[in-house]
């Protein structure tokens, strides 16, 4: 439910407000949840106060900046950062949201104030979880009475094993090769200390599946996926409810040509056992993107981001989906939030330039490439810069820049190459670039040409020529 009413940004509220499970005092600028103070900056609390006074009405960015920084000009990024920090502070209750109204501003959404109604709504939304919990309890009781050997209730790990497991998870989150190696060591220690527990094996499975996913070496990737499959099955043999085990099997299935449907089923099974698993929601969202089901994917990414507000992966994928849906303002906000988490995230910086390009603001896109030149790889920067220069009519300059590229490198996007060749006026080269791509890339190429507004001219050229690059 959204508060209704006319905003009054200056009036003083009579007392504390109930925002879902939060208690907010707009006069003292304090926020509590279940008796515990949520610690955020005063400026973030001022933003919540301004949004609460608006009572659900969308406030423009200009109005918010004027209310929060009356002393004068402030960059738009400061407001974006405060919105991000406020969303992080409110993430414990997904019913309380800061909604982005594209091209307009933000508003506060809270559950209805009537406690009985709110309770019924919460039960309605989570009814399937309650039903599953009841079923699981019944299964536990039945297994206990029958003396079943299945590991149903998750027993606590020994202290040393728990510490090793959590340190492994922390390293795994970082995803780079060195961190994955450290994570593997911790997960192997977990297995050594608790060999009958599923979690160490699931951790090893997650390490291997990420290694395989990030590798350009097909033989290495096949070996990593095979090891991931074995570790995941070892985890499920010890605890058939282990969500990570199902998620890893889903990731392995998704790497197979005909595995998308099976992958989706496995991700949904993981979520049936752990609805709060942010990665399972994110991976299901990616699976749905690959099936061209953008609205469903967006819903999964939103849940994943609510469960893990500092997840770069969720923010990045949500930005990608919003871009494909032409919600460029929302997409840009997502990528800026990624840069708040990691100021050196190349994909987010490059995506902001692509948003400018999609809007037709080529000069702004070039300026953004210049601003982020220290974190965007040379190949990507020169490729995009050459295309933008050509689109601005500077073809001689664009050709010189394009000629310096090594187009055979694996990480250079073939669609970006073809689009740049087309902008340079070389239609034949653009078509040849698309046609000579291996079969496993055809679905990706078709999807990018269909969804990305920047590639409209390239898609028309491919269709007119009867190119096999389009399915």
pLDDT tens, residue by residue, 248-276: 999 999 988 788 899 999 999 999 998 88
Same structural domain for residues 144 and 230? Answer: no
Same domain, 246 and 302: yes
Domain end call among 331, 351, 385 = 331
Higher pLDDT, 175 or 153: 175
Shared-domain flag, residues 317 and 360? no
Residue 66: domain span: 17-115
Q: How far apart are the C-alpha atoms of 271 and 281, rounded to whole Å?
A: 7
pLDDT at 439 over 90: no
pLDDT at 446 over 90: no
Q: Which of the listed residues 275, 301, 331 is the one where a domain comes to its end? A: 331
Q: When comparing pLDDT for 306 and 162, which is higher?
A: 162
Dihedral, 163, 164, 169, 170 alpha carbons, nearest 10: 70
Compute the C-alpha angle 372/409/374, nearest 5°: 15
pLDDT value for 468: 55
Q: Comparing 103 with 378, which gets the higher pLDDT?
A: 378
Same structural domain, 143 and 165: no
Count structural domains, the chain: 4
Domain end, chosen from 331, 363, 378, is at: 331
Same domain, 85 and 221: no
State the Cα–Cα distance between residues 441 and 428, nearest whole angstrom: 20
The answer to whether residue 7 sits within a structural domain is no
Whether residue 406 is found in the same domain as residue 301: no
How large is the average pLDDT for residues 194-211? 95
pLDDT digits (tens, 9 = 90+) for 116-156: 434 444 444 444 333 334 433 433 433 333 333 323 345 67
Quote the tokens at residue 13. 């509220």
Same domain assignment for residues 243 and 315: yes
Same-domain status, 215 and 267:
yes
Residue 241 lies in a domain: yes
Query: Residue 450 domain-assigned?
Result: yes
Q: Distance (Å, rounded) from C-alpha 20 to C-alpha 381?
A: 45
Residue at 1 is within a domain: no
Query: What CATH number is attached to the domain comprising 226?
Result: 1.25.40.10
Residue 122's pLDDT is 41
pLDDT in tens, 268-302: 999 999 888 889 999 999 999 988 899 999 999 98
| Together in a domain, 134 and 192 | no
- The pLDDT value recorded for residue 103 is 73
* C-alpha–C-alpha distance, residues 305 and 279, integer Å: 9
Q: What angle do CA 76, 79, 81 make, to 5 degrees?
A: 110
Mean pLDDT of the chain: 82
Q: 206 pLDDT exceeds 70? A: yes
Is 378 inside any structural domain? yes
301, 321 in Cβ contact below 8 A? yes
Q: What pLDDT, on a 0 to 100 scale, did the predictor assign at position 142?
A: 33
Instruction: Check whether 347 has a pLDDT greater than 60.
Output: yes
77 within domain boundaries: yes
Shared-domain flag, residues 147 and 223: no
Mean pLDDT of 403-423: 80
Q: What is the pLDDT of residue 10?
A: 52
Q: Is residue 371 part of a domain?
A: yes
CA nearest to 385, candidates 403, 411, 359, 410:
403
Checking if the pLDDT of 15 tops 90, the result is: no
Residues 206-209: contacts with CB within 8 Å, 24+ apart? Answer: 206/172, 206/244, 206/247, 206/248, 207/172, 207/180, 207/183, 209/248, 209/251, 209/252
Question: Checking phi first, is residue 423 left (phi over 0); if not, alpha (psi -120 to 50) or beta?
Answer: alpha
The contacts of residue 275 (CB under 8 Å, 6+ apart) are 129
Q: What is the DSSP string of 174-223?
A: H-SHHHHHHHHHHHHHHHHH-TT-HHHHHHHHHHHHHHHHH-S-HHHHHH
Residue 121 included in any domain: no
Reduced to 3 states (helix: H, G, I; strand: E, B; else coil), residue 270 is helix
What's residue 229's pLDDT? 96
Whether 430 contacts 449, CB under 8 Å? no
Q: Which residue has the higher pLDDT, 360 or 437?
A: 360
Q: What number of other Cβ atoms are within 10 A of residue 109's Cβ? A: 16
**pLDDT over 90 (residue 157):** no
Whether 337 and 326 map to the same domain: the answer is: no
313, pLDDT greater than 80: yes
Q: What local confidence, expressed as pLDDT, does residue 75 receive?
A: 58
Q: What is the C-alpha R_g of the chain?
A: 25
| Residue 248: half-sphere exposure toward Cβ, Cα within 13 Å | 30
Residue 444 and residue 365 share a domain: yes
Provide the CATH number for the domain around residue 459. Answer: 1.25.40
Q: What is the pLDDT of residue 357?
A: 94
CATH number at residue 103: 1.10.10.10
Average the pLDDT over 158-171 and give the result: 87
- Going from the C-alpha of 49 to that of each of 14, 109, 112, 389, the distances in angstroms are 13, 13, 18, 45
């Amino acid at each position: 439910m959204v508060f209704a009413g006319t905003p009054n940004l200056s009036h003083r509220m009579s007392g504390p407000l109930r925002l879902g499970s939060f208690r907010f005092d707009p006069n003292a600028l304090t926020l509590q949840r279940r008796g515990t103070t949520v610690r955020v900056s005063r400026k973030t609390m001022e933003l919540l106060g301004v949004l609460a006074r608006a009572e659900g009405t969308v406030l423009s960015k200009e109005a918010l900046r004027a209310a929060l920084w009356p002393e004068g000009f402030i960059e738009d990024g400061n407001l974006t950062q405060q919105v991000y920090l406020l969303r992080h502070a409110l993430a414990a209750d997904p019913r309380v949201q800061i909604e982005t109204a594209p091209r307009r501003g933000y508003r506060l959404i809270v559950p209805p104030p009537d406690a009985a109604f709110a309770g019924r709504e919460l039960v309605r939304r989570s009814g399937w979880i309650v039903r599953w919990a009841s079923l699981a309890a019944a299964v536990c009781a039945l297994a206990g009475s029958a003396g079943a050997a299945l590991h149903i209730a998750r027993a606590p790990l020994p202290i040393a094993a728990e510490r090793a497991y959590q340190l492994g998870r922390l390293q795994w989150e970082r995803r780079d090769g060195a961190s994955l190696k450290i994570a593997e060591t911790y997960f192997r220690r977990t297995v050594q200390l608790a060999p009958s527990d599923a979690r160490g094996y699931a951790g090893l499975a997650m390490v291997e599946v990420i290694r395989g996913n990030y590798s350009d070496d097909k033989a290495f990737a096949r070996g990593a996926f095979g090891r991931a499959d074995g570790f995941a099955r070892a985890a499920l043999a010890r605890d058939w409810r282990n969500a990570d085990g199902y998620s890893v099997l889903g990731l392995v299935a998704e790497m197979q040509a005909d595995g998308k449907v099976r992958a989706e089923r496995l991700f949904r099974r993981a979520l049936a056992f752990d609805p709060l698993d942010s990665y399972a929601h994110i991976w299901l969202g990616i699976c749905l993107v690959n099936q061209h089901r953008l609205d469903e994917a967006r819903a999964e990414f939103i849940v994943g981001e609510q469960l893990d507000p500092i997840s770069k992966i969720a923010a990045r994928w949500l930005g990608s989906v919003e871009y494909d849906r032409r919600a460029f303002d929302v997409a840009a906000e997502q990528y800026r939030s990624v840069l708040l988490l990691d100021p050196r995230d190349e994909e987010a910086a490059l995506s902001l330039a692509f948003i400018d390009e999609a809007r037709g603001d080529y000069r702004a896109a070039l300026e953004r490439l210049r601003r982020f030149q220290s974190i965007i790889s040379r190949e990507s920067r020169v490729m995009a810069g050459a295309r933008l220069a050509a689109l601005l009519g500077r073809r001689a300059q664009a050709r010189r820049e394009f000629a310096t590229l090594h187009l055979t490198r694996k990480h250079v996007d073939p669609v970006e190459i073809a689009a740049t060749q087309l902008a340079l006026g070389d239609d034949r080269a653009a078509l040849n670039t698309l046609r000579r791509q291996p079969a496993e890339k055809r679905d990706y190429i078709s999807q990018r040409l269909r969804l990305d507004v920047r590639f409209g001219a390239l898609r028309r050229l491919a269709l007119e020529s009867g190119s096999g690059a389009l399915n």
